[in-house]
A and B are shown apart, each in its own frame.
With several copies, the nearest count.
Chain A
Amino acid sequence: MNKVVANADEAIRDINEGAVLMLGGFGLCGIPENCITALVKKGVKRLTCISNNAGVDDFGIGLMLQQKQVRKMISSYVGENAEFERQLLSGELEVELIPQGTLATRCMAAGYGMPAIFTPAGVGTEVAQGKETRNFNGKDYLLEYAFNADFALVKAWKGDPDGNLVYRETARNFNPLMAMAGKVTIAEVEELVPAGELNPDTIHTPGIFIHRIFQGKSYEKRIEQRTIRKRS
């Protein structure tokens, strides 16, 4: 089943104004660089972006923020981004902050056809405001709903024409969860391999969840905090 498209432009062709997007990645690690570049080029506006972070000023989702393409961010952590801060304080940008595990699990719930999940994260805090709380075995949990996203944009290390995906190291993070959760899921990969080349035991995302796949190009894979130890 061939789901290969030529490039990012073709993959995102029908992402239009007002779409709700999921974008994989943690910090700048494992983000769909090619899709973001294509979205910036297309200039589509009023997007809602569900993504753990919002990039930095000149990379990742930060590039879309610079072009004022984002109406609302749903994230767990949005530091390290001055333009983000400016738009938030000026009221141009709406932000919904949710606990990181809740974010991950609401993606998984969507992918697994579960309408809602229970988590203790945020009980007794402002995150719980307006949410249903329920006690199980003496502990309180919040009811949190599955996300509903028009498109999920994910980045994998390798993929095949069926859409089977393999991620590398901590670049996995939210990608497999969002891959399952999009109404349409677009995967960009560093290496597109022929069907049958990936070991079926080691596939992280089975192709059934993927609608379009393409081989990305010119990955920068920027490091956010280059930290090293001294040679001893």
Chain B
Amino acid sequence: MALTKEQIAQRIAKELKDGYYVNLGIGIPTLVANYIPKGVNVVLQSENGLLGMGPFPLEGEEDPDLINAGKQTITTIAGSAFFDSAMSFGMIRAGKVDLTVLGAMEVSERGDIANWKIPGKMVKGMGGAMDLVASAKNIIVAMMHTNPKGESKLLPNCVLPLTGVGCVKKIVSDLAVLDVTPEGFRLLERAPGVSVQEIRSKTLGKLIAADDIPEMKFEG
């Protein structure tokens, strides 16, 4: 069975390592914060100018001066720091952020990513996505394996305008966990009950799969 968005976030959270500085994009990536493993200390960076993002505020404690990159009201934790947007993207550009998690419309087998524009439809803009993908040391994409029409979003080449080139390292979709390797998408794990054959049929880009691909496990 395909993973829920919550499960995708839960699986990505297992990639977090103690001491990581992490930037979580809008959508599924934001949910990752709910599943940070016990004993793993990570600091969340919000590119609008905050290190040490805390949970959403309690009702009545919203502060209009305190938002995340998705414009949501948030809180801080002990040890947080505010800074301007140049410093924020400075630390991103200099590779100080250990892991970036973001959504995608398409990913190519070489790790190209498209997630900001659909020509002919409304263009909202790239926000900080191009900066993040151009500089992040480690990018995990959270995405649906196929679009609503059932067409693969893991492609030989992106069709949509690119956000970045050759930058995605890992994909966690509703069907699978895959590494992006010089040889193509390497299948690492299957969603519970999803066959390698199904994943293969829904992956247009080159897929490398060993005979024995483990199923993902979720506790709780």
Contacts and interface: CB of A to CB of B under 8 A. Distances in A.
B131 A119 contact: yes
Contacts of A227: 56-57, 72-74
B86 A108 contact: yes
Contacts of B93: 101, 112-114, 119-121
Interface string A210-232: 00000000000111111111010
Contacts of B90: 105, 111-114, 180
Contact of B125 (A78, A126, A160, A161): A78
Contacts, number: 243
A123 B52 contact: no
Nearest to B30: A227
A226 to B, nearest CB: 6
A227 B72 CA distance: 6
B125 A175 contact: no
Contacts of B61: 228
B198 interface: no
Interface stretch (B77-85, B142-150, B173-181, B205-213): B77-85
Nearest to A102: B131
Contacts of B21: 208
A170 B86 contact: no
Contact of A124 (B67, B128, B135, B165): B165
Nearest to B51: A206
A27 to B, nearest CB: 4
Interface in A7-31: 26-30
A231 B59 CA distance: 8
Contacts of A119: 93, 131, 134
A132 to B, nearest CB: 16
Given A1-B41, A207-B81, A229-B55, A122 B96 contact: no
A105 B131 CA distance: 11
A160 to B, nearest CB: 6
A24 to B, nearest CB: 10
A119 to B, nearest CB: 7
A209 B67 contact: no
Interface of A: 1, 26-30, 52, 75-79, 85, 88, 95, 97, 99-105, 107-108, 110-114, 119-127, 157, 160-162, 164, 167-177, 180, 194-196, 198, 200-201, 203-204, 206-209, 221-229, 231
Given A113-B92, A207-B81, A208-B21, 7 more contacts: A29-B64, A97-B123, A97-B126, A99-B131, A102-B131, A113-B95, A225-B70
